[in-house]
Structure 1
Amino acid sequence: MREPKPYWRDVPQELRKQVEHKMAGTIKRATRVFGGYGPTATFRIFLEDGRTIFAKGAGKGSIAENWRVLPMEEAVYREVTAIAPISPRYFGSVSVDGWHLLLLEDLKNAKKVPPWSEAMALQAIRDIAAFHVRGLSEAGKVEEMGSKGVIDNWLNIKNNRDEREYFLGLFQENREDAAAWFDAVIDRLIPIESELMRPDQPWGLIHKDIRSDNLRLQDGSLMLFDWALACRGPLIFDVGFFFPSIEGEGGPTAECLLPAYMHEMAEHGIHFPAFAIHSVAVATAGFFASRAGKPPIPLLPRLRDIQRLQLGPALRWSCNLLGLPQPPAFL
């Protein structure tokens, strides 16, 4: 089931004229583009001169969250130069009442993932490291990452009966074994998760939402889009939350990829304390554990599936790092 998105026919004529003026070309046609998990307005626009552009933003049917983050994403495209080598080109924006679209380079010919190869995944990780190094000087251009919802998920599952039920419900016939596992490890997980935002680790500009539907590989290099959540936060967050996406889609594990990131950062004198690695692994698992078992969200019908996909690898990685028993399989 796909999320609801507006059709090109819903787009006002005035907005179409603004696109043509901005791009100095006549629109031949446009099509809806599906990607991500929300009801954003996304189109591929074909111009008479053969160019294509990608338009994304908010319009008919968009939710409040779309409207909230869109100005933040536009500000990143306009003001943060560190993203240029790793993001589509930004051509500007257009708006009328009820509509606001960003006009971006069309990456239609870039390679989608999955499938992942080890070489592709390692290149993506190295490109993220290069972005992190470039972005250190521009971290002050974005807001600081908030801690709510990222350092308290295991604590909430322990203290809230409904949260616990949602999590254990993922395991179905393995529920009793899952409950025993949870009770055995939860008091180890909570304090480690709470350390994710400690200031005594490398901080800088992060994308904060790296996963396969937010990226392409163009000429072998990583291209990231959906910069709405970019902020100043722990650098390890970007790769830590990305690893389970890669593994869940059949790619290499965090154990394979993390050394490549650490090596690239060390080449620039950036080193990570052990607590940073442990905390991002545990926090990643807690993030998905607190969400994957909850009821579907009507306007984001595929979100729970992708959260379950990432939960398994996140649990495996965090338990492996800490020497904890692995949880039973969930269905």
Structure 2
Amino acid sequence: MREPKPYWRDVPKELRKQVEEKMGSSIRRASRVFGGYGPTATFRFFLEDGRTIFAKGAGQGSIAENWRVLPLEEAAYRHVTAITPISPRYFGSVSVDGWHLLLLEDLRIAKKVPPWSEALALQAIRDLAAFHVQGLSEAGKVQAMAGKGFTDNWLNIKNNHDERTDFLGLFQDKRNEAEAWLDAVIDTLIPIEGELMRPDQPWGLIHKDVRSDNLRFRNGSLVLFDWASACRGPLIFDAGFFFPSIEGEGGPTAERLLPEYKRAMAARGIDFPSYAEQSVAAAAAGFFATRAGKPPIPLLPRLRSIQRLQLGPALRWSSTLLGLPKPPAINFMD
């Protein structure tokens, strides 16, 4: 099932005129673009001069969250220069009552993932490390990351019956096995997850939402978009929450990718305390554990399936890294 998105015919004529004035060419045709997991207004404009432009934003049918994050993403494109080498080119924005669109470089011919190869995954990790180093000088331009929702998920599962039930429901016929596993590990996971936001580790500018639907490869290099969540946070967060996405889509594991990230950062004089990788692994597993088993969200119909896809690798990685018992496999029902 696809997310509900506005049609091009829904766009006011005044907004179309603004796009043409901004780009210096009239629009020959336009089409909706699907991607991501929400009802964001997204279009591809085919201009008379032969160029194509990608537009994203909020408009008819957009939810309050779309409108909340749009100014944050626009501010990142406008003011944070460190993202320029690793993001689409930004051409400006257009708006009328009830509509606001960002105009960006069209990455339709850039390489998508999955499928992942080891080479692509390693390139993504090296480019992510380079971005983290580049962004250190601009970390003060963005808000600090809040820990709530990332450092307390295993604690919520322990203390809240509904949270526990939602998580165990993912395992269906292996529920008893999953319950025994959870009871054996949760008191270990809770304090380790709680260390995610410790200040005595490398902090800086992070994207905070790195996964395959938010990236492409342009001329062999990583390009990230959807910068609405950019903030100042633990650098290892981007990598640690990215690994389960890669493995869940058939790519290399965190055990293969984390050393590459650490090597790339160490080459630039940035080292991580051992607790940092343990805490991000536990936090990633807890984040997906408290979300993947919840009921579907009508306007984001594919979100839960993606969270389940990431939960399995996150549970495996955190258990392996912390020397915990192997978790049972989750059920990938629709």
- Look up the match of 1:218: 218
Determine the structure 1 residue equivalent to 2:145.
Answer: 145
Aligned to 1:51: 51
One-letter code aligned to 1:184: A
**Is residue 308 of structure 2 the alignment partner of residue 308 of structure 1?**
yes
Letter in 2 for 1:308: R
Task: State the one-letter code of the partner of 2:132.
Answer: H
Match of 2:75 in 1: 75
- Give me the whole-angstrom Cα distance separating, in 1, the residues matched to 2:258 and 2:173: 34
- What is the CA deviation profile of residues 67-126 of structure 1, one whole-angstrom value per residue up to 9, with x for unaligned ones? 000000000000011111100000000000000000000001000000000000000000
2:35 aligned partner: 35
Q: Which amino acid aligns with 1:235?
A: L
Tell me the equivalent position of 2:184.
184
Matches within 5 A, 1:129-208: 129-208=129-208
Letter in 2 for 1:109: I
Q: Which amino acid aligns with 2:120?
A: M
Distance 2:71 2:61 in 1: 18
Q: Counterparts of 1:77 and 1:286 in 2: how far apart (Å)?
A: 31
| Alpha-carbon distance, 1:286 to partner | 0.2
The reply to whether residue 9 of structure 1 matches residue 21 of structure 2 is no
Q: CA deviation at 1:326?
A: 1.0
Tell me, what secondary structure is at the counterpart of 1:35?
A: coil
Code of the aligned partner of 1:314: A
The equivalent residue for 2:330 is 330
SS of the aligned residue for 1:77 comes to helix
| C-alpha deviation, 1:175, in angstroms | 0.3
Q: Which amino acid aligns with 1:72?
A: L
Matches within 5 A, 1:113-128: 113-128=113-128
How big is the shift at 1:218?
1.0
Aligned partner of residue 5 in structure 1, secondary structure: coil
Q: How does 1:80-95 map to 2 (within 5 A)?
A: 80-95=80-95
Amino acid across the alignment from 1:119: A
Unaligned runs of at least 5 residues, structure 1: none
Percent identity between the two aligned chains: 81
Runs of 5+ in structure 2 lacking a partner?
none
Given the alignment of the two structures, is residue 320 of structure 1 paired with residue 297 of structure 2, yes or no? no
Residue 187 of structure 2 aligns to a residue in which SS? helix
Q: Counterparts of 2:41 and 2:326 in 1: how far apart (Å)?
A: 41
Partner of 1:279: 279
CA offset at residue 324 of structure 1?
Answer: 0.3
**Partner Cα distance (2:180, 2:325) in 1:** 11
TM-score (norm 1): 1.00
- Aligned length, in residue pairs: 331
Cα distance in 1, alignment partners of residues 135 and 93 from structure 2: 24
Q: Return the alpha-carbon distance in structure 2 between the equivalents of residues 13 and 157 of structure 1.
A: 50
Could you tell me how far 1:301 is from its partner in structure 2?
0.1
